[in-house]
Amino acid sequence: MSEPHDDDDDDAALFRAAIGAVRKLPEQPSPPAAPKPKPRARMAEMDEANAREEFRHALDASLLESGDVLAHRDERLPVAIYQRLRRGEIAAEEELDLHGADSRTAEALLRAFLGDAARHGSGCVRVIHGKGRHGSADVGSSGAPVLKNLVDRMLRQRASVLAYHSAPPAQGGTGAVLVLLAPPKRR
């Protein structure tokens, strides 16, 4: 009996004899590789994320309590106009209600809202943040209202914000803030 290895050799020889002479095909260039991703500044991204996280969780001695008034005036704004804002004499053109939002969602909503209001030329807007009395999500570990302090910090850092003040009692009191935005030409 012959070995299977010999049968394989015989089959290969028969195959080559049946096909005849073989010529090698010219080599095709390989297809182009997928483009490499553009370089990213990963350390800068990490630094920015860390700064946002620290900003979000910063606890300092100036945290506002639920009954405290939010107030800030940029030096560009005349005192008389700020006094009108304080008294609620400037009507809010748009309103954002942050009740029930967590701090990340509230931050994103507030950024988008202020950007949209500035693009559309709104002069005064109202942001309802609540007083932080009705749930553990509204109050931080220090007992201070989370959204109220978040709104205060964010508004202070916006170049488009000329002034803000807690609303009069009929418009939400210390649970809402009236924000005066700079006209597009002054930004």
pLDDT in tens, 165-178: 999 998 888 889 99
With CA atoms as reference, report the closest residue to 182 among 76, 28, 41.
Answer: 76
Can you tell me the mean pLDDT for 157-170? 91
pLDDT in tens, 43-94: 888 888 887 777 655 555 467 676 788 888 999 899 999 999 999 999 999 9
- Any bridge partners for residue 113, and if so which? none
pLDDT for res 125: 95
| 99 SS3 class | coil
pLDDT for res 90: 92
**pLDDT at residue 34 is higher than 70:** yes
pLDDT in tens, 88-136: 999 999 999 998 889 899 999 999 999 999 888 899 999 998 877 555 4
pLDDT for res 84: 93
Reading the block at residue 118, the tokens are 């500035």
**pLDDT at residue 139 is higher than 60:** no
All domains of the chain, ordered by start, with CATH?
68-186 (3.30.1370.110)
> Which residues contact residue 69 at a Cβ distance below 8 angstroms, ignoring those fewer than 6 apart?
165, 166, 174
